Amino acid sequence: MVFRRVAICFLGCLGISHPAKKAAPALAPAPAPAPPETTETSSSSSSSSSSSSSPSLASSDGTSRVRLSDGRCLAYRELGVPKNISNYKVILVHGFGSSKEMSFMASQLDLELEKYGFGLMWEVWEVSSNCEENPCDEQLLFSFAEAAELPVSIGHETDLMDELGVYLLFFDRAGYGESDPNPRRSGKTEASDIQELADQLQLGSKFYVIGISLGSYPIWSCLKRAAMVVPMINYNWRSLPNELTKDDYRKNLARWALWASRYAPGLVHWWFTQKMFSSSTALDRNPAFFNNKDLEVLKNTPGFNLLGKNNKLQQPGVFDSILRDFIVAFSKWDFDPLDFQNPYVKNECSVHIWQGFEDKVVPVELQRYVSRKLPWVRYHEVPDGGHLLVYDNVVCEAILRSLLLGEDPPLYRPKLDV
């Protein structure tokens, strides 16, 4: 069925395994991303939002938010060491269908306890207890872990944050999670949201950005101290040679999905909300889109349903917002990233791309071509990695160390003769 193929490729090419479930209004044309701005960022910029808005808005549900200059609110969460004593400030930009609750440097014990239903107990224990005051709580925690045959490894990721002095800032992109949608979404507005968020939270003149999958397209518009993890590739980039993409089945699938998103959003919405046929089983744990390590993530990581039942994506109008996200990412852009010249001839900044060798969503051949066209970008390749690299804590640590410290782990140097 053509409709079924469109629906499958729409989410499958993005590594998504479950649909959203609410009606969406018809789509208007969305603008394309803007060319990059590589000027120095600063919390003292003259944007009206910095001077007229409070850094953070109180919320009855406990969610932290900032109000942008256009009146929209962005929700965010913080992780790592306190911002005021940090050595490095890093903003994480999530991908399609994800949110600020995405997994990055999450403790394996956290994930396993949540999987076995102990997540809330662990969160309460973390907040209210320590080894000296409540040793019985720690013993209880280890008893749970032992009974469930879980790996007990508390604190490794926290130790890394403390060691490097890293402050992580996660936020819901426009229309995702608890952030307001942006009907005028474009690559420029996505980059502007990142800048305004950094300004209002006073991150200073130097911060880092990590874009994940589809969340990498805003990074091309604010290219500075950035890492892109399994970044999407737009088949409309005019510098991509036809001989490299003519036999890539993803190219036609992406075109079908883009056409349906633009001209038949109601049809796409119907497919993901109808109950006569399963719209997710063709994607869920489908080896056509996921390698073995990805399948392990899908099997073992709790809450991987990115468009889950508690997600704001189910609310009216948000389906329209995420469809716009897809359209902006895969429409024709005003610039071709492959034409970029090195803006940092003195190596004052670095840009990184991380790719899984076995990624079935973004072909490694295309990513290698990008790295050859942009030799000033530091290209890293995970030998057995798929599309879900951010669920591998070892890879996440390498990403941080490479971006922040300039390390070049030999394990992730691409073997271009393979």
Q: Which of 153, 179, 213 is the endpoint of a domain?
A: 153
Question: Residue 7 pairs with which residues in a beta bridge?
Answer: none
Has residue 65 got a pLDDT over 80? yes
Query: pLDDT per residue over 170-212, tens digit each?
Result: 999 999 989 999 999 999 999 999 999 999 999 998 999 999 9
Q: What angle do CA 389, 391, 393 make, to 5 degrees?
A: 95
- Tokens (6 digits) for 304: 């991987």
240 occurs within a structural domain: yes
Same domain (yes/no): 255, 311: yes
184 occurs within a structural domain: yes
Per cent of the chain over pLDDT 70 is 64
- Tokens (6 digits) for 128: 């209210």
Radius of gyration of the chain (CA): 21
Query: pLDDT per residue over 97-115, tens digit each?
Result: 888 988 787 544 344 444 4
Single out the residue of 378, 369, 380, 372 nearest to residue 344, CA to CA: 378
Same domain (yes/no): 288, 147: no
SS3 315: coil
Cα–Cα distance measured from residue 145 to residue 114, given in angstroms and rounded to the nearest whole number: 11
Same domain (yes/no): 32, 80: yes
Residue 17 banded pLDDT, cuts 50, 70, 90? very low
> Who contacts 272 (Cβ-Cβ below 8 Å, separation ≥6)?
7, 19, 20, 21, 279
SS3 258: helix
417 occurs within a structural domain: no
Cα–Cα distance measured from residue 109 to residue 111, given in angstroms and rounded to the nearest whole number: 5
Same domain (yes/no): 177, 275: yes
Same domain (yes/no): 329, 213: yes
387 occurs within a structural domain: yes
Other CB atoms within 10 Å distance of the CB of residue 190: 26
Q: Which amino acid is at 247?
A: D
Has residue 282 got a pLDDT over 90? no
Q: Which of 153, 188, 211 is the endpoint of a domain?
A: 153
Residue with tokens 């999987």: 115
End-to-end CA distance of the chain: 36
Cα–Cα distance measured from residue 191 to residue 169, given in angstroms and rounded to the nearest whole number: 15
Question: Residue 168 pairs with which residues in a beta bridge?
Answer: 79, 90
Cα–Cα distance measured from residue 268 to residue 264, given in angstroms and rounded to the nearest whole number: 7
| Alpha helices, H only, 310-383 | 318-330, 364-373
Same domain (yes/no): 272, 202: yes
Residue span of the structural domain in which 319 resides: 2-103+163-412
Single out the residue of 19, 3, 98 nearest to residue 283, CA to CA: 19
Cα–Cα distance measured from residue 386 to residue 361, given in angstroms and rounded to the nearest whole number: 8
Same domain (yes/no): 98, 122: no
* Cα–Cα separations (whole angstroms), residue 241 to 81, 248, 367, 391: 45, 12, 13, 32
Same domain (yes/no): 289, 365: yes
Same domain (yes/no): 226, 364: yes
418 occurs within a structural domain: no
Query: pLDDT per residue over 122-151, tens digit each?
Result: 333 333 334 444 444 444 434 443 443 433
Has residue 44 got a pLDDT over 90? no
Average pLDDT over residues 41-59: 44
Cα–Cα distance measured from residue 257 to residue 214, given in angstroms and rounded to the nearest whole number: 15
What's the pLDDT score for residue 140? Answer: 44
Residues 238-262 as b/e (b if ≥16 CB within 10 A, e otherwise) read eebeeeebeebebbebbebbbebbb
Same domain (yes/no): 130, 245: no
Output the domain CATH number for residue 251.
3.40.50.1820
Characterize the bridge pairing of strands 226-229 and 351-356: parallel
What's the pLDDT score for residue 14? Answer: 47
What's the pLDDT score for residue 157? Answer: 56
158 occurs within a structural domain: no
Q: Is 186 exposed, middle or buried (0-12, 13-18, 19+ CB in 10 A)?
A: buried
Please count the structural domains in the chain.
2
* Cα–Cα separations (whole angstroms), residue 6 to 12, 23, 313, 392: 10, 18, 20, 30
Return mean pLDDT, the chain. Answer: 75
60 occurs within a structural domain: yes
269 occurs within a structural domain: yes
Same domain (yes/no): 147, 177: no
Same domain (yes/no): 228, 90: yes
